[in-house]
Structure 1
Amino acid sequence: MATQKTPTLVELAEKLVEQARELEKVIPAPPTFQEDTLANLPIEYEKTRLSLIDTSEMFTALVRGSDGPYGRVMRIASYQYLDEVALYAIHHFRIPHRVPLNSSISYADLADQCQIDIDRLTSLLRMAITFHMFYEPTPGYIAHTADSRLLVADTSAFDFIGAVSMEHKPATLKVNEALEKWPGSPEPFHAPYSLAHNTDKPMYLHLQQHPDRLRQFAGAMTNITRAGARSIALIAKAYPWAALAPGSTVVDVGGGNGHISVWLAAEHAGLSFVVQDLPHASDDGIAALPAALRGRVRFVTHDFFTPQPVHGAEAYFFANVIHNWSDRYAVRILRALIPALKPGARVLVCDRLIPEQGTVPLVEEREIRALDLIMHILLNAKEHTEAEMRALFRAADERFEYVDTHAIPHGLFKICEAVWKP
Structure 2
Amino acid sequence: MHGMNSPTVHPAQRIVDLGFGFILSGALSSVAELGVADKLVQGPRSAASLAEELGVHAQALYRVLRLLASVEVFSEDAAGLFSLTPAAEYLRSDAPGSLRAAVRMLTQRIFWAPTGEMVDTVRTGQTPFDRIFGKPFFDYLHHDPAQGAVFHQGMSSLSDMENGAIAASYDFTGLSSVVDVGGGHGGFLIEVLKLAPQVRGVLFDHGQVLAGARIAQAGFSQRCALEEGDFFQAVPKGAEAYVLKRILHDWNDETCVRILRNCREAMAEGGRVLVLDTVIPPGNAPHGGKVLDVMMLASLPGRERTEEDFRKLFAQAGLKLSRILPTPSALSITEAVAA
TM-score of the alignment, normalized to the shorter chain, above 0.5? yes
Equivalent residues in 2 for 1:265-414 (5 A)?
A: 265-286=193-214, 289-291=217-219, 293-308=220-235, 310-357=236-283, 362=285, 365-397=286-318, 400-408=319-327, 410-414=328-332
CA distance in 2: counterparts of 1:85 and 1:256, whole angstroms: 27
Residue equivalent to 1:151: 91
Q: Summarize deviations over 1:226-260 as a string: whole Å, max 9, x none.
A: 43xxx32331122221222xxx2211001111111
| Contact 1:319 1:349 (8 Å CA) reproduced | yes
2:58 to 118, 132, 154: 118
Distance 1:162 1:327, change over 3 A: same
Q: Summarize deviations over 1:247-303 as a string: whole Å, max 9, x none.
A: x22110011111111111122111100011123223332376323x11111222221
Q: Does 1:215 align with 2:149?
A: yes
Residue equivalent to 1:41: none
Amino acid at match of 2:85: T
2:119 to 176, 199, 208: 176
Amino acid at match of 1:415: I
Q: Summarize deviations over 1:350-374 as a string: whole Å, max 9, x none.
A: 211011215xxx3xx3422111111
| Contact 1:172 1:192 (8 Å CA) reproduced | no
Distance 1:179 1:391, change over 3 A: same
Q: Give, in angstroms, the shift of residue 338 of structure 1.
A: 4.2
TM-score by length of 2: 0.90
| Contact 1:342 1:420 (8 Å CA) reproduced | no
| Contact 1:257 1:286 (8 Å CA) reproduced | yes
Percent identity between matched residues is 24
CA RMSD of aligned residues (A): 2.3
Q: Summarize deviations over 1:186-233 as a string: whole Å, max 9, x none.
A: xxxx5243344x2222x2232122333323222322333343xxx323
Higher share of residues assigned helix: 1
Residue equivalent to 1:415: 333
CA distance in 2: counterparts of 1:108 and 1:351, whole angstroms: 44
Residue equivalent to 1:194: 130
| Contact 1:156 1:220 (8 Å CA) reproduced | no
1:225 to 159, 163, 169: 159
| Contact 1:155 1:219 (8 Å CA) reproduced | no
Q: Displaced runs of 4+ in structure 1, greater than 6 A? A: none
| Contact 1:262 1:289 (8 Å CA) reproduced | no
User: How many pairs are equivalent?
Assistant: 334
Give 3-state SS (helix, strand or coil) of 2:249's partner. Answer: helix
Unaligned segments of structure 2, at least 5 residues: none
Residue equivalent to 1:206: 140
| Contact 1:222 1:259 (8 Å CA) reproduced | yes
Unaligned segments of structure 1, at least 5 residues: 1-55, 185-189
Larger Rg: 1
CA distance in 2: counterparts of 1:418 and 1:366, whole angstroms: 23
CA distance in 1: counterparts of 2:168 and 2:190, whole angstroms: 14
Residue equivalent to 2:23: 82
Q: Give, in angstroms, the shift of residue 393 of structure 1.
A: 0.9
Distance 1:367 1:91, change over 3 A: same
TM-score by length of 1: 0.73
CA distance in 2: counterparts of 1:212 and 1:155, whole angstroms: 23
CA distance in 1: counterparts of 2:253 and 2:196, whole angstroms: 33
Q: Does 1:164 align with 2:100?
A: no
Give 3-state SS (helix, strand or coil) of 1:123's partner. Answer: helix
Residue equivalent to 2:10: 65
Give 3-state SS (helix, strand or coil) of 1:419's partner. Answer: strand
Distance 1:111 1:233, change over 3 A: closer
Q: Give, in angstroms, the shift of residue 412 of structure 1.
A: 4.2
Q: Summarize deviations over 1:67-119 as a string: whole Å, max 9, x none.
A: 3xxx1222222x332222221221222211223x1312222221212222222
